[in-house]
Structures are given as C-alpha cells and as structure tokens.
A and B are shown apart, each in its own frame.
Chain A
Amino acid sequence: MASTIIARLPARLRDAALAALLALVLGIPFIGLQTLSTDQGLAIGTRWPWLLAAAAVIFAGRLLFAILADLLAERRRTARAGRSLVSEALAGRLTRGFGIGAALFALTLPFLPFSDRYVLDIGMTALIYILLGMGLNVTVGLAGLLDLGFVAFYAIGAYTFALLSKFFGFGFWLSLPLSGLVAASFGVLLSLPILRLRGDYLAIVTLGFGEITRIILLNWQSLTGGPNGVSGIPRPSLFGLSFDRRPPEGLGSFHEVTGIAFSGEHRLMFLYFVALGLVLVASWGVWRLRHLPIGRSWEALREDEIACRSLGINPTASKVSAYATGAFLGGLAGCFFAARQGFVSPESFTFIESALILAIVVLGGMGSQIGVVIAALFIVLLPEFARDFADYRMLIFGAAMILIMIWRPQGLLSNREPTLRLAGRSAAGDSAAKEATP
C-alpha cells in the first residue's frame, strides 16, 4: 500500500514543483509587487521573499493534497467488497440519528456550561442560515429551479417587519406570518416572467431580481430610509411579556411577572428559542410537503418537466408553488433577522448572501434537509474558527468552497431517502383492482 504511494512520489513532486512555479509567476504582480499610495500618487514596493514563501506554501499544499488523495484512493480500493463503507439503510439511519441528535443538542445548548452570549449569537446566525437553506432547498434542491437572488426574499421579509412596526406598530408575532406571505407573493411575482426560462437564464434573472430589490431598498429613501435603514424594530415578546428591563408601553415584563431576576441573557435565550422553534417547524413542514403530492411534483419537475406534462401536471403551478414556498421561508428568516438585530439596512442583503445560501444547499446535497443543517453549520462556523486568521478567513472560505466541491460534487449527503416504500406495507385487499380500472 505504502509502496504505490512512494512509486507515485516523483510524479507528485514534479506536479507540486510545477504548481509552485506557476504560483511564482502568477504572484509577481500581486505578491512580488505592491502598489503603494504616496503623496505623489502610486509607487511600487517589492516583497520578493513573500513571493517565495507563497510558492513554498503552494508546493507543500499541492504535494500534501496529492498524497492524501492517493492514500484515500488506496484505502477505497483495498476496502472490502461492497460499494461503500456504509450501507444505504445504515446511512439513512445515521442521518436520521444525526438529525435527532442535532435537535436535542440545539434544545439544550443555552443551558450547557460553555454557553454564553457569543455561543448563542453564533447559534442564532446558524439557525437563520438553516432556515434560509431550507427555503432555498425547496426551490433549488427539490424543484431544481436555480435561484441566485434568494436574498431578495430574506430582505423583503426583514423590511416587511421593519416597516410594519415602524408605520403601524405591529409586533413580531403578527408580522411573522405577514413577512412570510409578502415574501411568498414576491416569489409568485418573480416566478411569473421566468416560467419559460431554463437553467442558466434563470440564474441571471433571479440574480437581477436580488439586485433590483437591494437597489430599491437603498434608494427609496422615504419608505426604507435608504442606506440608513430602519431602526427601533421591537423584540419578540413571550405571550405579551417583554424581555427588556423597562418594557415598552402595554407590555408586562418577563422578570417582573415570573420573579426571575432580570438578566440580559434571558432575552438572548428567548430569541434563540424563537429561532430554533422556527427552524423545527419549518423543517417539519418541508418534510411533510416532500411526502405530499405537491412535494413529489416538485421533485418530478426537477427530474423531467416533459414527463410531468405528459401526466397532466401543470408545470407552471408546480414552479410557482416551489418559488412561493421557498420565498415564504426566506421571509420568515428575514423577519426573525430584523427582530434579532432591531435594525435593518440594505447592506445585509447583498449578492454574497444569496451565494452563501446556495452554497449551503449544494454543499449539503441537493434536496437533503439534514445536509442543509450540516452545510449551514459549516458555512457559519468555518469563518468563526478561522477568526484566528483574521484577514485570511474569507480567503480560506473561498478555497474551502472549491475544495469541498471537488471532493464531493454531489454534496455532503447525496443519498436520497424515498418518500414512501412498498416493502413492509400490507396490501389493502381487492379494492385495488377495482380502483385501478378507469
């Protein structure tokens, strides 16, 4: 086993040397040379040692990855018969187990010893992305409709709550369904002009929709406050109880009514549970939908639109409902986001958000709900762990996206769990034969 690795070593070394050489050339104008701003305009500085160091890093990295890939390939080849190390049934059970475990962990997180403000904050961010991922997963993962402007629905949800509270004094719980519905209506609106478009054309039109939304939010000063956004968005209350030290007019306060000493962390914990509740309800809803005719028609649409039409399924209705459902969840996420921040501005809704949400869906494995959870955790936590590298974290993030796609183009969880099985079901009797006749 080791011998094949060693036999391949010269080739790998040559490969790594070439990569390093390429890096050396590519790095000249960016690492080797540097434009410096001076009083007289730009000047040029040099950093040749840096360039050499970068080339060395590329050399080592390339070599390491090649050897790792060889090792993995070797392992797979020598692994005993059977297509994969884990059987399909076991994989299914493992995934479900992970889902339950993750839910339990999430439920107890605020009470765990290491839990503090920072942990809860990241937890909430992760939950928001999970919710967004679940929404986009309906559109892209299940129905197979590419959407590069999903952030628009997120923004519409957030601004719906922000504006409802600003102009009409609506609270969180009333605004939540409204935000979802408004976002869903925009989803319907968007889906209408693009019903005839396919794959890549969808990409640019949806991207455009996302940008149009952001530009309008940015420029419609009188309504949205423009770049300054909307502030003073109320926090969610618990059955009319506020978590503020001095509750707003008309609300009781949690610490006075319950007699528990006031703590700022209670509010954070409550927000966290609101987010968790939203995610749990949403994932239950999506799971149910997947097992209903509507969900199966989405997946069928992804698989073959022409076959769908030949069976009497209206592709328009399926597409519109998929966009609307995805947008609804995006709107919920936006509403919660606004409540958590207490402030919204167009800055939070740039294209990069759309890209991240799409990355969550694709990384997770299109259509897989647990996959969305894992990928969302990854997308949120990786930059946090890379915080030590400060400036380099987005660089690492971009590189990681590429590497993971190369490693698993199908996404992390590519096993599709059937929505129902015939095996193990009892036959219902001879009514079937009669039913089957026209």
Chain B
Amino acid sequence: MTAPLLEVSGLTMRFGGLVAVDGVGLTAQTGAITALIGPNGAGKTTIFNCLTGFYRPTAGRLLLRHPDQGEIELQRLPGYQVARHGVVRTFQNIRLFPRMTVLENLMVAQHVELMPKSGFSVAGLLGLAGWRAAENAAIDRARFWIERLDLTAVADEEAGNLSYGMQRRVEIARAMSTRPLLLCLDEPAAGLNPRETAALGQLLLGIRQEFGIGILLIEHDMSLIMGISDRIHVVEYGRKIAEGTPAEIRSDERVIKAYLGEPEEEEMPAEVAQDLAQDLSQETRP
C-alpha cells in the first residue's frame, strides 16, 4: 500500500470548554472511498470543517501528500487555500449559489484556474483569444460534469429553483469541476430517496474508478456506507473508536455499543435500535 493521500493525526478541536474532537487520527487513500461514521454530535462535521479549512484545529496535523507539490500541512494554510490544493467539500445543508444557474455554479468552481487565464480580468476585458479559449475549455469541463450528473435539462436554471436531489448533484458536480484530489462529502445522501441513494452510490464508485481520486464521506445511510466504502472510521464523543473494512466494522463490539447504547442506558426505543442493527448488518450493493 502506498503512503496515504491524507494523513490526520492527533486532531483536536476545542470550543471554549467543549472538546468537540479529541485526538482523532485517520487516513484516506487515493482511489478509495473512506467513510466517517458515528452518532449525531460525534464530531464528524467538525473534523470536516478542520480538514477543509473552516476551523483552525486546536492541535493536530493534517498532512496531504500532493502528487505535484509534495507534503502539505493543511492546518497551516489560510482556509480558502485548502481547496486550491485539491481538498474540496460539499455541505450537509447544501450551499449552492442559488440565484446563479447550474452552469454558472460550475464556472465559479473553476475560478482559481480561470482568474489568471483572464489575465486577472485585463485579457478578459479586452476579449483576447487566449482568454476565450480558456473560457471555452472551462465550459466544456462544466458540460462534462453536467452531463455526467444528468443535469443537462436544468443547466441554465437557477440552482435555487431545483429539487433537493438535483441540488445535491449540482454540489457534487461543482466540487468535481475543481478537479479535486480528495472529495469530501458531508452526508450526500441526506434527504434522498432510496433510488437516488443507490444512484449516488454508483456515481461515487464510478468517480473513484474513473478518476482515481480519494473520496471521504460522512454518512448516516448504513446501506450506502457498507456498500461502497473501502475503509470506515467510527467516531463517538469526538474520539475515534474503531477503524476497518465494512466487514470488520459490522462486527465491532464498540461500534455496536456506540450505535445501540449501553444496555443499561436504554435511551433508544426498541424499534429504532432494531432498525439500526438491521442497517448495520445490511450489505446491499447499490
């Protein structure tokens, strides 16, 4: 196995007295789907926020092995720079540019590349040929992802007017338009129906295979996680409690306990616990 694309060690995030993430370590490989799971409030999104430059971690090291630029410590970069080094995310509660069209959303995603090509607007203002070629290439890339995610019919619609499922797809298309090394998805299946979820699974497997990038995802949908993940990390109360292949995680005592609660706690109604247990034992490849 080659050295992992992303190596997180000792990640800690404190908010005042609250320790949201406590010494978490995890890795993500290129060409693999890595899942991050855990009960609500376990600190998954906080880990994402540290990773993608939205929070500055209290402690820890976020090492990215960039094929061209060597080793980069993400926690030292200004927040917006993280995406420029190939770590791009989506959001749990979808953050599109609602009054811009789908195509425009995907064009904004290519801003970092296009800005110098527009001569920082000078060449663009003059309409020089070099800029026009660059713009056309950007449109072609956007078109590729629009077609790939089945958004052709709505490409010129305002993103805010689309259905929930479509918005989720636009967000993935937008992230992919930046040509990431590591795609971080925060609950991409939330709010999707089973058919859409299955399609999402196929899409992610396809992206992994075709483009060989790393995918890191937070998800609650166990059928999806168990179906597509190469490796799963489990966090609870800000600590990592388990790591392994889907098969290993399914049989891990601590994971089951984290999800079902200690027997004496009885926080979870019986039927919910049953559902969860079922989810955990499922292995339905979408």
Contacts and interface: CB of A to CB of B under 8 A. Distances in A.
Direct contact of A and B (CB under 8 A): yes
Interface of A: 285, 288-289, 291-294, 296-297, 299-300, 303-304, 306-315, 416, 418-423, 425, 427-428, 431-433, 435-438
Contacts of B110: 293
Given A294-B115, A306-B54, A420 B83 contact: no
Contact of B98 (A303, A311, A314, A421): A303
A307 to B, nearest CB: 4
B108 A313 contact: yes
Given A285-B125, A427-B140, A311 B52 contact: no
A289 B91 contact: no
Contacts of A285: 125
A296 B121 contact: no
A306 B94 CA distance: 11
A432 B179 CA distance: 13
Contacts of A293: 107, 110-111, 114-115, 118, 121, 124
B91 A309 contact: no
A423 B151 CA distance: 12
B110 to A, nearest CB: 8
Interface string B123-155: 011010000000011011111111000001001
Interface of B: 52-54, 78-84, 86, 88-89, 91, 95-101, 103-104, 107-112, 114-115, 118, 120-121, 124-125, 127, 136-137, 139-146, 152, 155-156, 158, 174-181, 210-213
B103 A421 contact: yes
Nearest to A321: B121
Contacts of B140: 427-428, 431-432, 435
A199 to B, nearest CB: 17
A433 B144 contact: yes
A427 B118 CA distance: 22
Contacts, number: 157
A211 to B, nearest CB: 32
A216 B145 CA distance: 54
A423 B143 CA distance: 10
Contacts of A421: 101, 103, 155-156
Given A303-B99, A418-B100, A436 B144 contact: yes
Contacts of B158: 416
13 contacts: A306-B91, A310-B54, A311-B178, A416-B99, A418-B103, A418-B104, A421-B103, A422-B142, A422-B143, A435-B137, A437-B210, A437-B211, A438-B180
A54 to B, nearest CB: 43
B98 A435 contact: no
Given A300-B108, A304-B95, A310 B143 contact: no
Contacts of B79: 309
Contacts of B91: 306-307, 310
Given A307-B96, A309-B54, A420 B104 contact: yes
A291 B138 CA distance: 13
Contacts of A314: 78, 80
B160 to A, nearest CB: 9
Residue from B107, B158, B212 with most neighbouring chain A CB atoms (10 Å): B107
A438 B80 contact: no
A312 B81 contact: yes
B89 A310 contact: yes
Nearest to B154: A422
Given A296-B108, A311-B108, A288 B144 contact: no
Given A306-B54, A435-B144, A313 B95 contact: no
Contacts of B108: 296-297, 300, 308, 311, 313
B141 A422 contact: no
A437 B178 CA distance: 10
B137 A297 contact: no
A135 B53 CA distance: 33
